[in-house]
Structure 1
Amino acid sequence: MSTDTRVSRRRLPTWIVVTIAGIFGLFYAFVVWSSVALLIQQATGALGLNGLGWFVYILPIVFPLVAFGVAFGIGARRKAGEFSLALLAGLTLSAAFWLAVVGYGTTSYGLYGG
């Protein structure tokens, strides 16, 4: 007698995964685009950026891409609501990280003067 306790999960249809990921992907793209705009604004400013400034302002460009990948990997095989919540959690972390960088950039003069 076999004691194989595999649980067969129904996967979401591909069109639902693509639709949910596409909608959330637009919001992630907005965070990335805002980060790119902030980097360009600070780099072309009167003081410019030093090496640390470039590093700090490139992080919010990379972070949402990584967060989307992790959230997609965690939630793609779950129910639609759980998948949406995973992507929403990653988006929330990305937005909070972006705001933290903006706050740090406005109070730290060590990033400028390259």
Structure 2
Amino acid sequence: MTTSSVPETRPTTPAWLALGLAVLFGLLFAFDVWEAVGNLVGVSVVASGLETTINPLGWVVLILGILLPIAVFALAFWLGRRRNVLAQVLLYLAGLGTVAAVSLSLLALFGIGSVLT
């Protein structure tokens, strides 16, 4: 009895569809980045209006808020690059949910009063 040595292949997403999903979800992740930049600018303006500064932990939180959506999108894109459409959509949605949960947690944990010195 001979067995075939042909590897099993998964159905992959066509390139045009994978690119479309990446662009669509990339815009949603870009909105999260835009919000994080707005938070950084807003907190800086509030701090200067109150004649105070942002402490180092505050800067770390604000900068991580910008970097997190970029890193999670890149991870979701990389993990889903050879998967089917449903898996890619679920990865992007899980990434968006993760970014939203972490952002809300950071805002709750480090309210505006705690990032100013």
Q: Distance in 1 between matches of 2:38 and 2:57?
A: 18
Give how far 1:101 is off: 1.6
Preserved contact between residue 65 and residue 103 of structure 2 (Cα < 8 Å): yes
1:50 to 40, 52, 55: 55
Across the aligned residues of Structure 1 and Structure 2, the Cα RMSD in angstroms comes to 1.7
TM-score normalised by length of structure 2: 0.85
Secondary structure of 2:27's aligned partner: helix
5+ residue gaps, structure 1, are: none
SS of the residue aligned with 2:110?
A: helix
The answer (yes or no) to whether the contact 2:12–2:85 under 8 Å persists in 1 is no
Q: What SS does structure 2 have at the residue aligned with 1:44? A: helix
- Provide TM-score, normalisation by structure 1: 0.87
Report the equivalent of 1:85: 90
Gaps of 5+ in 2: none
Larger-Rg structure: 2
Task: Compute the displacement of 1:107 (Å).
Answer: 6.7
Length, aligned pairs only: 112
Amino acid at match of 1:90: G
Matches within 5 A, 1:66-105: 66-105=71-110
Q: Secondary structure at the match of 1:8?
A: coil
Q: Which residue of 2 aligns with 1:65?
A: 70
Partner of 2:7: 6
**Deviating more after overlay: 6-15 vs 85-94:** 6-15
- Runs of 4 or more, structure 1, over 3 Å off, are none
Aligned to 1:15: 16
